[in-house]
């Protein structure tokens, strides 16, 4: 019997699996990737009796894999908050799926584990930009404001590390980062204890990349309610695009944001954020384009041809016209 742990390579995926490993330490085959690499079950082969855990990737994008693994006799435990569509019914499948906009996978795992590693759930929720949810559940921790902000920073940095076109863009491969992080029952041991050099590497990378992004201005076609930014084809831009989008949303809560990163060949990688005060429509907009997907508040398009930039700009500004 083999454990196979499949997780999104962002803060939420890493913090969800960290909680599960702390609760039940195990040797597992890890399957992950950059944050946008969500069709992860394509890579998974399993045999009868194997236990496959899948975290923080849309079941809709992995349904064929789930069905195939179940047919092979594996047991599948699936926890997620993205669009799921129809959930297969089978004895071998256990799901915890909740698409509510104030929930993330780390919070769902925290509920499953009855708050055993609550601080890690707080980090995961901050990482998914669910500040209110994170602060609400953090009331169950005996920590002060300064410590809460450290958990927020860690969530932000882990999330930041997941963005890139390929693992080569990232400071840490997500499976490596999971191994470094999940040794610690408390996130503070990673932040200021034995893991502090890794925390510092994330912090330094984040500050440097965000400094470059902060110099960018909205491009032509942007409106008062919907702003577009275009970042160059460079590793720093691919790393920072997602967190920069979150940062813009927090700075301008009434405005929708699209951050486009140029790719080789003239295509764009896009992060869309609905206005913080009206978390709607980002997934709907992105799913109208090939390679688009996500959640109502935060969605993206992996590969938009330059020829569709005008159409995307038109639909984005129409979606958020008021």
Tell me which residues touch Mn ion (CB under 5 A): 12, 56, 104, 128
Q: Measured from the CB atom, is 2 or 98 closer to Mn ion?
A: 98
Q: What tokens does 127 get?
A: 């990482």
Nearest-approach distance from CB 9 to Mn ion, in angstroms:
11
Helices (H), 52-195: 63-71, 105-112, 118-127, 131-138, 145-161, 174-181, 187-191
Nearest-approach distance from CB 104 to Mn ion, in angstroms:
4
Q: Measured from the CB atom, is 56 or 283 closer to Mn ion?
A: 56
Q: Measured from the CB atom, is 9 or 275 closer to Mn ion?
A: 9
Q: What tokens does 282 get?
A: 């980002």
Q: Find the residue with minimal CB distance to Mn ion.
A: 12
Q: Measured from the CB atom, is 125 or 226 closer to Mn ion?
A: 125
Q: Which residue has the tokens 């946008």?
A: 36
Nearest-approach distance from CB 208 to Mn ion, in angstroms:
25
Q: What tokens does 237 get?
A: 């831009």
Q: Measured from the CB atom, is 39 or 233 closer to Mn ion?
A: 39
Nearest-approach distance from CB 8 to Mn ion, in angstroms:
6
Nearest-approach distance from CB 186 to Mn ion, in angstroms:
22
Q: Which residue has the tokens 């169950």?
A: 140
Nearest-approach distance from CB 71 to Mn ion, in angstroms:
27
Pairing of strands 3-7, 226-231: unpaired
List phi, psi (to 5°) of 216: -80, 150
Residue-wise burial string across 129-143, b where 16 or more C-beta atoms lie within 10 A, e elsewhere: bbeebbeebbeebeb
- Measured distance CA(241)–CA(230) in Å, rounded: 9
CA neighbor of 315 nearest in space, from 275, 256, 245: 256
Q: Taking a C-beta distance cutoff of 8 angstroms, is the pair 12, 128 a contact?
A: yes
Nearest-approach distance from CB 80 to Mn ion, in angstroms:
8
Q: Is the dihedral of CA 161, 164, 170, 174 positive or negative?
A: positive
Q: Which residues contact 142 (CB under 8 A, 6 or more apart)?
A: none
What is the CB neighbour count within 10 angstroms for residue 32?
28
Q: Measured from the CB atom, is 127 or 292 closer to Mn ion?
A: 127
Nearest-approach distance from CB 81 to Mn ion, in angstroms:
6
- Measured distance CA(192)–CA(208) in Å, rounded: 21
Q: Which residues contact 208 (CB under 8 A, 6 or more apart)?
A: 236
CA neighbor of 128 nearest in space, from 83, 159, 170: 159
Q: Measured from the CB atom, is 137 or 226 closer to Mn ion?
A: 137
Q: Measured from the CB atom, is 83 or 236 closer to Mn ion?
A: 83
């Amino acid at each position: 019997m083999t454990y196979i742990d499949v997780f999104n390579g962002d803060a939420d995926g890493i913090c969800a699996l960290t909680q599960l490993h702390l609760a039940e330490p195990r040797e597992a085959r890890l399957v992950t990737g950059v944050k946008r690499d969500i069709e992860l079950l394509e890579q998974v082969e399993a045999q009868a009796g194997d236990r496959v855990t899948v975290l923080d990737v849309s079941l809709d994008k992995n349904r064929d894999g789930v069905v195939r693994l179940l047919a092979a006799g594996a047991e599948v435990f699936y926890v997620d908050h993205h669009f799921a569509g129809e959930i297969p019914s089978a004895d071998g499948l256990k799901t915890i799926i909740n698409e509510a906009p104030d929930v993330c996978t780390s919070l769902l795992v925290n509920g499953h584990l009855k708050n055993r590693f609550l601080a890690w759930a707080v980090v995961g929720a901050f990482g998914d930009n669910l500040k209110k949810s994170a602060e609400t559940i953090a009331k169950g921790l005996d920590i002060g404001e300064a410590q809460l902000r450290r958990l927020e920073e860690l969530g932000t940095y882990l999330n930041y590390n997941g963005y890139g076109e390929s693992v080569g863009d990232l400071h840490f491969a997500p499976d490596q980062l999971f191994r470094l992080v999940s040794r610690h029952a408390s996130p503070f041991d990673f932040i200021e204890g034995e893991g502090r050099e890794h925390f510092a590497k994330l912090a330094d990378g984040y500050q440097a990349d965000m400094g470059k992004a902060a110099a960018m201005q909205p491009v032509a076609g942007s409106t008062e309610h919907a702003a577009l930014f275009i970042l160059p084809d460079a590793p720093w831009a691919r790393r920072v695009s997602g967190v920069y989008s979150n940062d813009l949303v927090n700075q301008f809560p009434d405005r929708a944001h699209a951050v486009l990163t140029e790719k080789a060949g003239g295509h764009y990688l896009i992060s869309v954020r609905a206005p913080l005060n009206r978390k709607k429509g980002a997934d709907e907009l992105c799913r109208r384009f090939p390679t688009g997907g996500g959640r109502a508040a935060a969605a993206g398009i992996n590969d938009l041809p330059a020829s569709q930039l005008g159409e995307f700009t038109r639909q984005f500004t129409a979606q958020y016209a008021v």
